[in-house]
Amino acid sequence: MRIDAVLGGMGLFVVAALGLVGCAEDPIPAPPFPEGTGQAANARYPAGPYGVSLHRVIANYQFVGYANAAEHNDTMQPIQLADFYNPTGTEVFPEGSLYGAGEPKPKVLLIDVSSVWCGPCKIEAESVLPELYKKYQPQGGEFLVQLADGRTPGEAAVPNDLYRWTTRYDVQYPSAIDPSYKLGALFQADAFPANMIVRTQDMTIMEIVAGVPEANSNFWRTFEKIMNGEL
């Protein structure tokens, strides 16, 4: 099933779901969702083999979420890693893109796999990522937070979790959930947050670390080198 077919009826679900924010104590059940990984039909994307280890190409995972929750969070939108693929280094987002038609595609992508229950994830979202995003986004860096678990380890995050997370931390970069739990299931509970750097020219994982990388660490130096065309 194509993700856009699912999303066609999703708007009403999410609007209703968001209406419960502040009064509902239980997570809202996830909507029907297609397979969370694999190459989408007609998507431009590098060939495999795929993996989530160093120097492997990350598969074209498909999610639902927000391109920029600070600007638009009344409905969820389709997000896939192919959105950020930039083989020439000079690609721009097409007409109708959630990320802004004609805007340059990123040269490097941070994928931050976080969970609602994870204390370090909350610290990272509040105190680390906002300032770094302000610094790197104008230079060709992009962030994507993938909220893996909800409030319980091993249970996939649901729309209400993402809404609350992005509202609480004023998330201005792409954010998503994967109710089919394909990507999050690849990480152990003690690995959150899992941060990986993806070179968008070929969607290769260039660095990966469990935990919160410090602002002046080798992790971010690698990010900068890719962004500046040095790696």
Confidence of residue 22 (pLDDT cuts 50, 70, 90): very low
pLDDT at 110: 98
Average pLDDT over residues 67-71: 94
Residue-wise pLDDT for 135-184, tens only, equals: 999 999 999 999 999 999 999 999 999 999 999 999 999 999 998 888 98
Domain count, the chain: 1
Q: Which of 75, 83, 84, 71 is nearest to 167 (CA)?
A: 71
Q: Is 131 in contact with 170 (CB distance < 8 Å)?
A: no
pLDDT at 43: 65
Pairing of strands 175-177, 141-149: parallel
Check which CATH number belongs to the domain holding 114 and give it.
3.40.30.10
Residue 216, CA distances (Å) to 159, 209, 227 in order: 33, 14, 16
- Judged by DSSP in three states, 28 sits in coil
Q: Is 193 in contact with 87 (CB distance < 8 Å)?
A: no
Average pLDDT over residues 31-55: 69
pLDDT at 221: 97
Angle between helix 218-227 and 129-136 (nearest 10): 20
Helices (H), the chain: 3-8, 10-18, 119-123, 129-136, 159-168, 218-227
- In the chain, the largest separation of any two C-alpha atoms, in whole Å, equals 50
Query: Which domain does 12 fall in, by range?
Result: 3-227
pLDDT at 227: 98
Sole residue written with tokens 């990272």: 124
**Other Cβ atoms closer than 10 A to 205:** 19
pLDDT above 80 for 24: no
pLDDT above 50 for 12: no
pLDDT above 70 for 45: yes
Q: What is the pTM of this model?
A: 0.82
Worst-scoring range by mean pLDDT, 38-42, 53-57, 59-63? 38-42
Q: Is the torsion defined by CA of 186, 27, 213, 88 positive or negative?
A: positive
Q: How far apart are CA 178 and CA 148, in angstroms?
A: 7
Residue-wise pLDDT for 81-115, tens only, equals: 999 999 999 999 999 999 999 999 999 999 999 99
